[in-house]
Amino acid sequence: MVATPREAFWAYGVYAGLIVSLTLNARVPLRSLIRRLAIETPFLIFVVALPFLARGERIDVVGLSLSVEGLWGAWNILVKATLGAATVMLLASTTPITSILYGLQKLRVPSVIVAIAGFMIRYADVIASEMRRMKVGRQSRGYEPRVLWQVRALASSAGTLFIRSYERGERVHLAMMSRGYSGTMPELAAVEASPTDWLRAFLVPAVAAVICVLAWL
């Protein structure tokens, strides 16, 4: 998708159609997908600024002088980022995180990385809630920082959070040792992909690749 030329409007239409049909097929509500796309908002600001900032040939649109190159660039980033984000969200909302991790392992991502990522995901919520409780604590003491030199309390929270996380890591390690951990993680529930699974998995990327090639022709 990223390699598709930006002039091929129809190709992006087909990509979008592909994602929408997958979404419907997976019974993921379209509205929740769209709402989650809000994560992109900071980039939209940059994208909107592009036509004004880029150089090159300029055209007049409703009284504003815009750069043609900037408009193309903005369109290019907008459509690719949005479609890319939508695809990933579809994956995240249809596939449990353990399956994604298992898939990564099968795809030869180093097992250490997969194991660390697994731990991070498992404990991210614990640590984040710990941080939220500290935030409630700070706020209930009337902490409302406005300027940078008031951030001392934030920093002590961060430091305390690090010590707690690290010590939790040490405890987890001891717990793992006492359960017979010897340096490698046990295999996650093994699922073998059958040839039909592979075929099904390759269907959509294959279609996308064909579109990309056609768009270049």
Partner 1 sequence: MHIPDGFINAGTSAGAAVIAAGGVSVAVKKTSDYMEDKQVPLAGLTAAFVFAVQMLNFPVAAGTSGHLLGGALAAILVGPWAGALCVTVVLIVQAFFADGGITALGLNILDMSFITALGGYALFVGLRRVLPKQRWSIVIASGIAAGVSVVLSSLAFFVQFTVGGNVDLRLGSVLAAMVGVHTLVGVGEGVITAATVGLVLGVRPDLVYGARDLATRLELKPQVRTAGGLS
Counting every residue written for the chain, the total comes to 217
Q: Does 214 bind partner 1 (CB under 8 A)?
A: no
Work out how close the CB of 191 gets to partner 1 at its nearest, in angstroms, rounded to a whole number.
19
The string of DSSP letters for 158-188 reads HHHHHHHHHHHHHHHHHHHHHTT--SSPPPP
Work out how close the CB of 141 gets to partner 1 at its nearest, in angstroms, rounded to a whole number.
17
Q: Does 185 bind partner 1 (CB under 8 A)?
A: yes
Site map 134..163 versus partner 1, x via CB under 8 A: -----------xxxxxxxx-xxxxxxxxxx
Residue among 8, 69, 99, 143 that touches partner 1 (CB under 8 A): 69
Give the Å distances, CA to CA, from 117 to 93, 102, 121, 175: 18, 11, 6, 19
Which 3 state secondary structure label does DSSP give 145? coil
Give residue 60's Cα distance to chain centre.
Answer: 36
Residue 37 in contact with residue 108, Cβ under 8 Å?
no
Question: Residues 98 to 127: which contact partner 1 by CB under 8 A?
Answer: 100, 110, 112-113, 115-124, 126-127
Residue among 22, 66, 94, 130 that touches partner 1 (CB under 8 A): 130
Residue span binding partner 1 (CB under 8 A) among the ranges 13-21, 167-175, 186-194, 197-205 = 167-175
Q: Does 42 bind partner 1 (CB under 8 A)?
A: yes
